[in-house]
Amino acid sequence: MKIICIGRNYAEHAAELGNALPDTGGEPIFFMKPDTALLRNNDPFYIPRFSQDLHYECELIVKINRVGRAIEERFAHRYYDEVGLGIDFTARDVQRRAMELGLPWESAKAFDRSAAVSPEFIPLEQLGGDVQRLHFEMSIDGQVRQRGDTGMMIFTVDRIIAAVSRYITLRTGDLIFTGTPAGVGPVHEGENLTATLEGRTMLDFDIR
């Protein structure tokens, strides 16, 4: 399986990073994490030693349920029926250096256990059926840090699937991290991270 992540999919988050929304010709920015990046079962996240500014980014995850390539946007909804929540852990200092040098982001984004994935995925139908009408929230030590409303995405899930599958075949079990809303920030040893999707607790783990 592979993990595909969308960058800068909420305007307020792009602004907080100081990134003007780039003119990508109407296509989302994406990058990937390998399966070694998975952090499952609410296992603790250990801050890697190579970063002094390790950030959380809470994101809605869409799980692909059939093989597809060059998927038309109007058929994209047939390729998923469950969603979860995840954290796209990001070594912000490493990412900044890479961006300044115009280099790839893998060292900042794709390291071991950088993709926390909720133990549970929920059938979309149980959540009202519309992937662009979901609310999620992430807290550190009980204090809300991020609030997401999927209606605010710049690129919808169906548009993301159409765009990514032009280049890369999607397979059953692939995960798409759909971008983070505003409010990203650092994690510190000893904190507890929780996240809810439509009020249901999806993530609850410790930072070590």
Residue 178 binding Mg ion, by CB under 5 A: no
Our finding on whether 180 is near Mg ion (CB under 5 A) is yes
Determine the residue with CB nearest Mg ion. 88
- C-alpha separations of 198 from 33, 50, 115, 134, 195 in Å: 26, 35, 21, 6, 10
Site string for Mg ion, 39-58 (x = CB under 5 A): ------------------x-
Q: Which two tokens stand for residue 202?
A: 């999806």
Distances (CA, A) of 98 to 5, 16, 56, 92: 17, 18, 18, 10
Identify the residue among 9, 28, 79, 88 touching Mg ion (CB under 5 A). Answer: 88
Alpha helices in the chain (DSSP H): 11-16, 92-101, 106-109, 157-164
Nearer Cβ to Mg ion, position 131 or 176?
176
The piece of 19-27, 30-38, 69-77, 87-95 that touches Mg ion (CB under 5 A) is 87-95
Q: Rounded to an integer, what distance in angstroms lies between the CA atom of residue 85 and that of residue 203?
A: 7
Q: Which is nearer to Mg ion, 88 or 137 (CB)?
A: 88
Provide the minimum distance between the beta carbon of 131 and Mg ion in the complex, in angstroms, as a whole number.
17
By CB under 5 A, which span of 46-54, 61-69, 80-88, 145-153 interacts with Mg ion? 80-88
Nearer of residues 56 and 79 to Mg ion, judged by Cβ? 56
Alpha-carbon distance of 127 to 22, in angstroms, equals: 33
Phi-psi bin for 75: left (phi > 0), alpha (psi -120 to 50), beta?
alpha
Segment near Mg ion (CB under 5 A), from 81-89, 124-132, 138-146, 164-172?
81-89
Three-state secondary structure call for residue 4: strand
φ, ψ (nearest 5 deg) of residue 123: -55, 130
Cβ at position 6, least distance to Mg ion in Å: 7
Does the footprint of Mg ion cover residue 137 (CB under 5 A)? no
Tell me which residues touch Mg ion (CB under 5 A). Answer: 57, 88, 180
